[in-house]
């Protein structure tokens, strides 16, 4: 068994199958580090849609960390101490090897897909590159290695979704969460479908169980990407405010599973049960505060880079 085990994950359900073998690899006083590698953010223009690189990177980092924290909680049931880390790098293999060296890990345990098109980050070629470059042992698990037992617990149906991880439920008890969830219906949305539009009256609050949604807002320069929302996140919070007029539109980036809670029913519950109402609105206020803080940070970073670029150009002119 090993003291320090590094577990790169690509956020696919299949790759999570490796989690079931981790208790057999980590010593009683050891720990597993769950690692996600995200690409550097790059500002890009998609037609009228402008996506700021810093904004994209921050959203990717937050989403990856939230995912890893959920996985770490699952490992607690196996008495495995787990830590999490997110690394920004344009080469997944290089990031994994560098992290392993920097943290003196004893073993890298990773999953490789055996079918094309399924891998997002940890692909077969990445696993081979890590095996070639790593100085410590590397255990690569394939679907057939995890066919018995482990893959069964890795695939978690939507009925078992842990609603305690949902952002707007952060201040509710499990009993209160169950009351809110009972108001909604589970729905499936296809890739490319749009949920709501800016300026319209929102009728539902959506909780993402699987998949990702791109939220955009109209501006003077066209549609701007506001943020990416993934499992455990709710949108649009604007339905909870005033007349429920939406600021953003949501577009499914993949086939997604959602819990759809009618606005009218949710507001009635918040009125009838003051504790639930206070909990939901306190969590929502914190979400808005966090996003405002991140926006100010991103604007400050952008202004600093712009000043540095102007300074460098001025020095070149001299």
| Domains of the chain with CATH codes | 2-154 (3.40.50.620), 158-296 (2.60.120.10)
pLDDT score at 295: 65
Nearest Cα neighbor of 38 from 19, 56, 51, 12 is 56
Q: What is the DSSP letter of 15?
A: G
- Establish how many alpha carbons lie within 13 A of residue 216's alpha carbon, considering only the half-sphere containing its beta carbon: 20
pLDDT in tens, 23-33: 889 988 899 99
pLDDT score at 1: 77
Percent of the chain at pLDDT above 90? 28
Q: What is the DSSP letter of 297?
A: H
Structure tokens that stand for 260 in this block = 């759809």
pLDDT in tens, 131-149: 888 889 988 887 666 554 4
**Cα–Cα separations (whole angstroms), residue 26 to 109, 151, 232, 277, 307:** 11, 19, 28, 43, 48
Strand, coil or helix: 139: strand
Which is higher by pLDDT, 189 or 160?
A: 189
C-beta of residue 238 within 8 angstroms of C-beta of residue 248: yes
Separation between Cα atoms, residue 276 and residue 191, nearest integer Å:
33
| DSSP codes, 76-124 | HTTT-EEEEEEEE-S-HHHHHHHHHHHTT-SEEEEE--SSTT--SSS-H
State how beta strands 2-8 and 107-111 pair.
parallel
Structure tokens that stand for 138 in this block = 């590397």
Radius of gyration of the chain (CA): 22
pLDDT in tens, 250-273: 888 878 889 999 999 999 999 999
pTM beyond 0.75, yes or no: no
Cβ neighbours of residue 316 closer than 8 Å, sequence gap 6 or more: none
Q: Average pLDDT, whole number, for the chain? A: 80
Binned at pLDDT 50, 70 and 90, residue 122 comes out as very low
pLDDT in tens, 41-55: 776 665 555 556 677
Measured CA angle at 88 (ends 104, 58), to 5 deg: 135
| DSSP codes, 157-177 | -GGG--GGG-GGGTTS-HHHH
Separation between Cα atoms, residue 31 and residue 260, nearest integer Å:
38
């Amino acid at each position: 068994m090993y003291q320090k085990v590094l577990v790169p994950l690509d956020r696919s359900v299949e790759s999570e199958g490796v989690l079931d073998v981790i208790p057999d690899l980590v010593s009683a006083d050891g720990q597993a580090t769950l690692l996600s590698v995200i690409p550097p953010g790059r500002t890009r223009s998609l037609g009228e849609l402008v996506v700021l690189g810093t904004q994209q990177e921050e959203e990717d980092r937050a989403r990856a960390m939230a995912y890893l924290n959920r996985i770490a909680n699952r490992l607690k049931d196996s008495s495995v101490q787990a830590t999490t880390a997110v690394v920004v790098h344009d080469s997944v293999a290089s990031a994994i090897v560098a992290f392993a060296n920097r943290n003196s890990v004893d073993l890298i345990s990773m999953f490789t897909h055996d079918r094309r098109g399924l891998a997002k980050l940890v692909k077969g070629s990445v696993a081979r590159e890590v095996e070639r470059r790593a100085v410590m042992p590397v255990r690569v698990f394939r679907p057939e290695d995890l066919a018995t037992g482990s893959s069964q617990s890795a695939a978690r149906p939507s009925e078992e979704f842990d609603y305690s991880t949902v952002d707007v439920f952060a201040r509710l008890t499990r009993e209160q969460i169950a009351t809110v969830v009972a108001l909604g219906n589970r729905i499936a949305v296809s890739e490319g479908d749009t949920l709501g539009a800016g300026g319209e009256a929102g009728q539902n609050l959506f909780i993402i169980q699987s998949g990702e949604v791109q939220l955009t807002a109209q501006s003077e320069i066209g549609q701007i990407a506001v943020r990416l929302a993934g499992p455990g996140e709710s949108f649009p919070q604007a339905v909870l405010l005033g007349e429920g007029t939406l600021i953003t539109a949501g577009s499914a980036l993949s086939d997604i599973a959602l819990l759809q809670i009618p606005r009218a029913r949710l507001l009635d519950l918040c009125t009838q049960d003051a504790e639930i109402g206070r909990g939901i609105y306190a969590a929502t206020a914190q979400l808005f505060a966090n996003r405002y803080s991140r926006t100010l940070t991103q604007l400050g970073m952008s202004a600093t880079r712009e000043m540095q670029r102007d300074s460098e150009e001025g020095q070149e002119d001299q």
